[in-house]
Structure 1
Amino acid sequence: MEDKAAPVKERISWIPLELNPDVWNKLIHENGVDKTWAFNDIYGFDPESLGLIPQPVSAIIFVYPTMTETDLKFRKQEEQRILKEGQFLGPNVMHFKQTIYNACGMMALIHLLANNRALLTGPGVFREIVEQADGMTVDQRIKLLENNKRLAYVHEIAGKDGQTNAPAPEAEVDVHYVCFTDTDDHLYELDGDKPFPINHGLCTDLVKDTARVIRQIMERDPNEKNFSAMALSRLG
């Protein structure tokens, strides 16, 4: 009897989001996020530049070159270390695994909102996802995002709303989005390409503690220059 190969799952691909505060603010404010909070560019990670960031800050979105030889090596070592030594994961930290190609910007945003639920003051797709994801397994959360047509729609609108021409969903993009936020008094790096959240220790100052980790990432690849970040800050 001839063996039948299992069907190959078709890859879902989305337009990459542009790191543009105007685009992201429109995206969140039209979909139930508290309008007293907004994204602002971060112009550097030195003390003077960090001092320009409006406070308070609930999270930082960081964009950096990924899949470099150094990055791949570090990711493998980090995962092996955590699997061997373990790490503290607070009861309220929520993590999603990314399977949608070029959706790392949206994954960073979902991680931000899932771990800062107080920002979800109105109805919308983000509140629905976060509430449904409670108690779900990794695989269930993957299906939740892959099958959410409303999320795909708002992402497509935002993906076409930047200052530059939107690349194709299948385009090769050499940067990656991650979220840093304070959950349960610890600084977490939330990355859909990693198998679990990364606990960077107790968080006493979100901006300064995140900048410390970001500088370490940048120092690992000193020849790379394509680093950017935004902070979600409360207005006024």
Structure 2
Amino acid sequence: MTTWLPLESNPEVLNNYLGKLGVSPLWNIVDIYGVDDELLAFVPSPLKSLIFLFPCSDVYEEFRAKEDEELKAKNIEHPKKLFYTRQYVHNACGTIALVHAILNNPDIELEEGGVLKKYYDATKDKTPEERGKVLEHDAGFIESHESVANEGQTPAPDINIKVFHHFVAFVHFDGKLYELDGRKNFPVIHGETNPENLLQDAIAVCKKYIARDPNEVRFSLLGLVPTQ
């Protein structure tokens, strides 16, 4: 499997990345500083996606395996226009989360000829597995990712060192709250939501992640919101 340098959970870095991918500057990534209502009140509206960074502990990996078996047995059909891609590149979860966040919000404009627009046009009718393989070898993504992965506040780690944290995206699509994680075989539905309640509903799911692993404190929250 191909390995990339991991992205830092840093809005400045991620916004630079969005620019390189050809995403409209009218939208950007911001920190969300906590799950309390007082802190959530400071998140600009409308929130288009909540991006969650969490540790891949043994507790989580056991839960993920159990969840996958349950979803496989249910054989759920998802909307054909839901853009979901599998992850076949180590440390590409930040890129995958941004892809899921942007491409499931069609009102976010993409630059014609830009990296993300070309990727979408080439893969919109493909399977999640085919999309993941295309992304793995996409020169535009590879070059853009590498350039921003070296821009963080901390030195980029050795490419061969296992990264402990993982990004996922939560989006509203067709009246449902979706968790989109390229490491999973399927999108995960977490009940009903709407654009106005997306933040609170996604935070409720994140709280379950946190409660599942109470000895962990290494969680981060980011929001895709209008540029202020």
Q: What is the TM-score of this pair, normalised by structure 1? A: 0.91
- What letter is aligned with 2:81? N
- In the alignment, the residues of structure 1 paired with residue 227 and residue 146 of structure 2 have an alpha-carbon distance, to the nearest angstrom, of 27
- What letter is aligned with 1:209? D
Query: Contact 1:63–1:177 at 8 Å: present in 2 too?
Result: yes
Relative to structure 2, which stretch is displaced further, 165-174 or 153-162?
A: 165-174
Query: Contact 1:92–1:183 at 8 Å: present in 2 too?
Result: no
Question: SS at the partner of 1:57?
Answer: coil
Question: SS at the partner of 1:91?
Answer: coil
Deviation at 1:86, TM superposition (A): 3.8
* Match in the other structure for 1:146: 136
1:60 lines up with 2:50 in the alignment? yes
1:159 lines up with 2:149 in the alignment? yes
- In the alignment, the residues of structure 2 paired with residue 211 and residue 73 of structure 1 have an alpha-carbon distance, to the nearest angstrom, of 22
* Match in the other structure for 1:93: 82
Gaps of 5+ in 2: none
* Match in the other structure for 1:233: 225
- In the alignment, the residues of structure 1 paired with residue 86 and residue 221 of structure 2 have an alpha-carbon distance, to the nearest angstrom, of 21
- In the alignment, the residues of structure 2 paired with residue 139 and residue 24 of structure 1 have an alpha-carbon distance, to the nearest angstrom, of 25
Equivalent residues in 2 for 1:1-236, closer than 5 Å: 11-66=1-56, 68-87=57-76, 89-123=78-112, 124-204=114-194, 205-236=197-228
- Structure 1, residues 70-104: CA drift from partner, whole Å, max 9, x if none? 11221122112222234352232111111111111
Q: Percent identity among equivalent residues?
A: 34
Aligned residues: 225
Question: SS at the partner of 1:140?
Answer: helix
Deviation at 1:149, TM superposition (A): 1.1
4+ aligned runs moved over 6 Å, structure 1:
none
- In the alignment, the residues of structure 2 paired with residue 46 and residue 131 of structure 1 have an alpha-carbon distance, to the nearest angstrom, of 39
Question: SS at the partner of 2:225?
Answer: strand
Deviation at 1:52, TM superposition (A): 1.1
Deviation at 1:151, TM superposition (A): 0.8
RMSD, aligned α-carbons: 1.4
Q: What is the TM-score of this pair, normalised by structure 2? A: 0.94
- In the alignment, the residues of structure 2 paired with residue 31 and residue 81 of structure 1 have an alpha-carbon distance, to the nearest angstrom, of 35
**Residues 215 and 88 (structure 1 numbering): CA distance in 2 closer, same or farther, change over 3 Å?**
farther
Query: Contact 2:85–2:129 at 8 Å: present in 1 too?
Result: no
- What letter is aligned with 1:97? R
